[in-house]
Chains A and B, each alone.
Chain A
């Protein structure tokens, strides 16, 4: 393809596909890609990336460098040049020899968007992938998308946090698209109160360190006091150690040195994993184990122990899942699976909760209700730790304390 003269920046080149959950945005994007596709051509015309990053990694490239090489279409050298420049700005070359599956979620999200662009498609659809990126990467990436270099690609973005991004785009609201089997899923509705039995004690870190190898500690000498009844936001770059930090607190990983205290008592998180700290993961599919939603949120162990299930029932109802209680979690769309995982974590009543990207894939209304629910938990004496790349979501909490992770320590 020859570039002659100055490329014209089409004001309609970038569009934001707006709407609530289940309003048909994903279906609209899929139809865009389908209509752009030319089966007879060997060049990709329409490419889509979504939130399940592992599905958009080819699975055929042993290294990140190979993954990038696989996607270089070579039609317009400017695309490749600009994108390599972007990767260099993000110091992404250090990952060149790594297996793409060893990258963190945010790193994978960046990789799949870059790779999709390298193909120089006529139409690119980004379905909530950007939500996984920290603003340090997201802002320059979005600025690059508007770059006239990419004049040949129309970009359609469905993103619940679009208002936070400073990106000029025209907005499109698809007509409601229903497929056979679609259900009317209720929104999250925070109840006026959720009575709970347990009140948290302060969580104190004393010189906590952790590393998978001795040479490269990920967390070094961390000391901090998390107060019960408060909401904390752990911030940091993609790959800075936020997930590792959360896993140490939840008792999944054993710290190499240091102690954790719950109130005045030493808390052996590693010996009793998941006992005092509940942890909700970014990807819900890794934490759904039961055949029905009811069983997932009110597990048999809870019933066997004859514990009061009122709290769990209220949580299930708040997340709009009571009506779906008999359904299999895996049959539900991603947004609902995310809610099930979140509800299961909260229902499993703990003193402290760590929520990793609790609002991913949720529209603004449900994000607001989730925030209300989290505030309610804090008001009832729970301790809350949030990991989120959404500044708007964090800003919705009036009294949130930010803990920045950098170079293995707390700022």
Chain B
């Protein structure tokens, strides 16, 4: 199949064919991690990959669709954090366009900034909708922080950032590692993302 650079209909079809499969990546990895009770989420790798390949709008759709479906089966509160997925897509796209995944240092930096942003967006949802605790492992840390004197708001922020730092950095590194293993001639079909800026094609 030739790379369809100028054919917008071909691009649209490719995007629509890819979105459900990227949703599947989020579902698959997120489910495995949740079942294994690991102290991370890893539920946005599909979002990051889709954003790097096709841009932030596609990444946002993948993220939101994944949240809705995973809410039905494994993680009920996930749907309330759909906004976070949109922000992850937006930030990843901006970072990607600036070559934020070009080397290990940049990837880690992108992960850290993504973690801060994700925390700022998720914390209000956790605070107002769930009263500060969602019933996962991170909540234990939130409680501990409250018990040593932090207010609920700061405890949610602090526990959120500690989890997100590991999680989002890991996701950035994993997403790039995976894309690096994909043959370039396959990636060349995808436009609108930031593959070129991060030396994944061309």
Q: A residues bordering B, Cβ < 8 Å?
A: 39, 59, 181, 291, 328, 330-331
CB of B183 within 8 Å of the partner chain:
yes
Chain A residues whose CB sits within 8 angstroms of the CB of B183 once the complex forms: 328, 330-331
- Contact between chains at B20 and A330 (CB < 8 Å): no
CB of B154 within 8 Å of the partner chain:
no
- Contact between chains at A291 and B20 (CB < 8 Å): no
Most buried by A among B9, B183, B185: B183
A313 to B192, CA, bound (A): 43
Interface residues of B in 150-196 (CB under 8 A from A): 181-183, 185-186
Closest to B186 in A: A330
- Contact between chains at A59 and B20 (CB < 8 Å): yes
A347 to B54, CA, bound (A): 40
Name the one of A59, A328, A330 contacting B17, with C-beta atoms under 8 angstroms: A59
Taking the nearest CB of chain A, how far is it from the CB of B161, in angstroms? 35
Interface residues of B in 32-53 (CB under 8 A from A): none
13 A-B pairs (CB sep. < 8 Å): A39-B9, A59-B17, A59-B20, A59-B21, A181-B185, A291-B181, A328-B183, A330-B181, A330-B182, A330-B183, A330-B186, A331-B183, A331-B185
Interface size class of B (residues with CB under 8 A): under 10
Closest to A331 in B: B183
Interface residues of B in 136-153 (CB under 8 A from A): none
A330 to B185, CA, bound (A): 10
A331 to B183, CA, bound (A): 6
Chain B residues whose CB sits within 8 angstroms of the CB of A291 once the complex forms: 181
Taking the nearest CB of chain A, how far is it from the CB of B199, in angstroms? 16
Chain B residues whose CB sits within 8 angstroms of the CB of A328 once the complex forms: 183
Closest to A34 in B: B2
Closest to B9 in A: A39
Taking the nearest CB of chain A, how far is it from the CB of B157, in angstroms? 41
Query: B75-89, CB under 8 A of A: which get 1 and which 0?
Result: 000000000000000
Chain B residues whose CB sits within 8 angstroms of the CB of A181 once the complex forms: 185
Closest to A290 in B: B181
Closest to B184 in A: A331
A247 to B21, CA, bound (A): 27
A59 to B17, CA, bound (A): 8
Chain B residues whose CB sits within 8 angstroms of the CB of A59 once the complex forms: 17, 20-21
A251 to B182, CA, bound (A): 30
A39 to B9, CA, bound (A): 10
A291 to B183, CA, bound (A): 10
Taking the nearest CB of chain A, how far is it from the CB of B104, in angstroms? 18
Taking the nearest CB of chain B, how far is it from the CB of A394, in angstroms? 34
Interface residues of B in 10-24 (CB under 8 A from A): 17, 20-21
Taking the nearest CB of chain B, how far is it from the CB of A31, in angstroms? 12
Taking the nearest CB of chain B, how far is it from the CB of A95, in angstroms? 22
Taking the nearest CB of chain B, how far is it from the CB of A396, in angstroms? 34
Chain A residues whose CB sits within 8 angstroms of the CB of B185 once the complex forms: 181, 331
Closest to B20 in A: A59
Closest to B17 in A: A59
Query: B109-150, CB under 8 A of A: which get 1 and which 0?
Result: 000000000000000000000000000000000000000000
Chain A residues whose CB sits within 8 angstroms of the CB of B181 once the complex forms: 291, 330
Taking the nearest CB of chain A, how far is it from the CB of B25, in angstroms? 14
A59 to B20, CA, bound (A): 9
A331 to B185, CA, bound (A): 8
Chain A residues whose CB sits within 8 angstroms of the CB of B17 once the complex forms: 59
Taking the nearest CB of chain B, how far is it from the CB of A24, in angstroms? 16
A331 to B186, CA, bound (A): 9
Instruction: Kindly list 11 other residue pairs between chains A and B, CB separation below 8 angstroms, not including A59-B17, A59-B20.
Output: A39-B9, A59-B21, A181-B185, A291-B181, A328-B183, A330-B181, A330-B182, A330-B183, A330-B186, A331-B183, A331-B185
